[in-house]
Amino acid sequence: MDEHEQGDAPPVAELVRDHVSAGGDVAEEQGEPPQALLSGFAGDGPAKRKRKRRRKRGRRRVFVRDGAECETRPQPAAAVPPTGSSEPETLRRGRAYAARLTYSRSDETFYAALDLGTNNCRLLVATPGRPGCFRVVDAFSRIVRLGEGLSSSGRLTQAAMDRAVEALAVCAEKLGNRRLAGLRMIATEACRSAENGGHFIERVHSETGLSLEIIDRRTEARLAVSGCSSLVTRETDGLVLFDIGGGSSEIALIDLSRHRTPRLADHIVSWTSLPVGVVSLAERFGGRDVTRERFEAMVAHVSAMLERFDGGGRLAHLVSGERFHLLGTSGTVTTLAGVHLGLRRYDRRRVDGLWMERDNVDRMIETILGWSFEQRKANPCIGAERADLVLAGCAILEAIRRQWPAERLRVADRGLREGMLNEMMARDGVWRRRKRPRVEAG
């Protein structure tokens, strides 16, 4: 797959859904969205690419086998199932690969970030690129609906946990094939709020070898901001960044009108995490057959939560200005963008960084609200897995838009994983530029 560069600050996002669901290899430079490429970066010329290929062919690659260096990639040992075991093959392979995870510093440095949410399990593996950017070399995404039934029972169901563990085993296999300089794996609202969330984390470690960290809501909001930082332009004075998840929705108010630093998270003036997401809201009000009255009831439910947010007025001096906008990162806004563009197949390159005017958002919500469940299911940007959730997401979005009216919404197909990768690479100083040798005048 062709590489493309993006950005001026650490970031990225989810690749084409059909591709990553199949677990395909990818190579993509992350940072600024594709629109920026058209006016700035022109790409490497043929001669430069040829020199790069020659250098790559001459580079000695070193791997590790049984603690010793070798020049050929170690082949994974075949998993031998115990006699009479009914355990899925993916779990056995995942444990075998996770046990082989190694961390090293080398010329080819890999970082990995895994996010297990209420609805999705996502993984990104990347290597640092030019300052402020990284190149995605592998990705995985699967809808697991870990939080299914959680809002009514307070517990993760056996079927939901089984689906998540199977997806995590695939991630373990992918991670086991890499020598990693940094790895962070997080779990969010479903594991935070479930009575048996801790037990599930222990099961994941036992069956896949992966150790997930349940993060708090403040950390989740900060990572979402970090993951989307390259989509905030210098012309922006203020924005409301929101991440509509499966079980919770994080909202950060960002004021850039005063002294500006490179780190977007430094400018968060207020934040909140609503205990509602597309899965929990759809389970409460119904997501399959949604009337206009039911949709308004969902909007009112979320609006009541926002009214209790004490810091919601911190951007009142900027909201009416032209240099204020909303920035959304979630399946809800990327779905709206795909429908708006009339895509026959979801294409992240066209969606990530897209600007949508207020009228366009109004029209898309109205269009989807007017569709039947079968029509939503048939749309290639919604599909069967999101058909019963998309209107709940639209209701959360509408409540946010009513609270902070803005003329424009920017769409981000990126989020927590990108934030984790940014923070790990910044922590290790991989983007620090080497000082050039001083030349004395003679």
Confidence class for position 95, pLDDT limits 50, 70, 90: low
Mean pLDDT of 12-34: 38
Query: Which tens digits make up the pLDDT trace of 61-73?
Result: 444 444 444 444 4
pLDDT score recorded for residue 94: 57
Distance set, CA 86 to CA 58, 96, 203 (Å): 47, 17, 17
Average predicted confidence (pLDDT) for the chain: 80
Confidence class for position 377, pLDDT limits 50, 70, 90: very high
Mean pLDDT of 123-141: 89
Q: Is the pLDDT of residue 20 over 50?
A: no
pLDDT score recorded for residue 223: 93
Q: At 294, which amino acid appears? A: R
Portion of the chain with pLDDT greater than 90, in percent: 61
Which pTM does this prediction carry?
0.72
Q: Is the pLDDT of residue 378 over 50?
A: yes
pLDDT score recorded for residue 36: 33
**How many Cα atoms within 13 Å fall on the side-chain side of residue 36?**
16
* CB < 8 Å & 24+ apart, contacts of 125-130: 125/174, 125/175, 125/178, 126/12, 126/30, 126/421, 128/425, 128/430, 128/431, 129/5, 129/29, 129/30, 130/5, 130/29
pLDDT score recorded for residue 138: 93
* Closest among 39, 44, 41 to 6, alpha carbons compared: 41
Query: Which tens digits make up the pLDDT trace of 272-310?
Result: 999 999 999 999 999 999 999 999 999 999 999 999 999
Confidence class for position 185, pLDDT limits 50, 70, 90: very high
Q: Is the pLDDT of residue 392 over 80?
A: yes
* Closest among 117, 114, 278, 274 to 194, alpha carbons compared: 117
Domain range annotation of the chain: 227-418
Q: Is the pLDDT of residue 28 over 70?
A: no
pLDDT score recorded for residue 430: 87
Q: Is the pLDDT of residue 376 over 60?
A: yes
Q: What is the DSSP letter of 44?
A: -
Torsion, CA 311, CA 316, CA 321, CA 325, rounded to 10: 20
pLDDT score recorded for residue 60: 43
> Which of 55-59, 196-200, 356-360 is predicted least confidently?
55-59
Query: Which tens digits make up the pLDDT trace of 136-175?
Result: 999 999 999 999 999 889 999 999 999 999 999 999 999 9
Of residues 59 and 97, more confidence is placed in 97
Rounded to an integer, what distance in angstroms lies between the CA atom of residue 326 and that of residue 14?
A: 20
Confidence class for position 256, pLDDT limits 50, 70, 90: very high
Residue whose token pair is 């810091």: 311
Mean pLDDT of 206-233: 92
Q: Is the pLDDT of residue 404 over 90?
A: yes
Relative to beta strand 268-274, strand 249-255 is antiparallel
Q: Class of the 227-418 domain?
A: alpha beta
Q: Is the pLDDT of residue 372 over 90?
A: yes
Q: What size, in residues, is the chain?
A: 442
pLDDT score recorded for residue 439: 41
Relative to beta strand 120-128, strand 213-214 is unpaired
Q: Is the pLDDT of residue 101 over 70?
A: no
Q: If residue 92 lies in a helix (H) or strand (E), which one and from where to where?
A: helix 89-98
Residue 54's Cα: distance from chain center in Å?
35
Of residues 337 and 436, more confidence is placed in 337
Q: Where are the alpha helices (DSSP H) in 314-357?
A: 331-341, 348-351
Confidence class for position 45, pLDDT limits 50, 70, 90: low
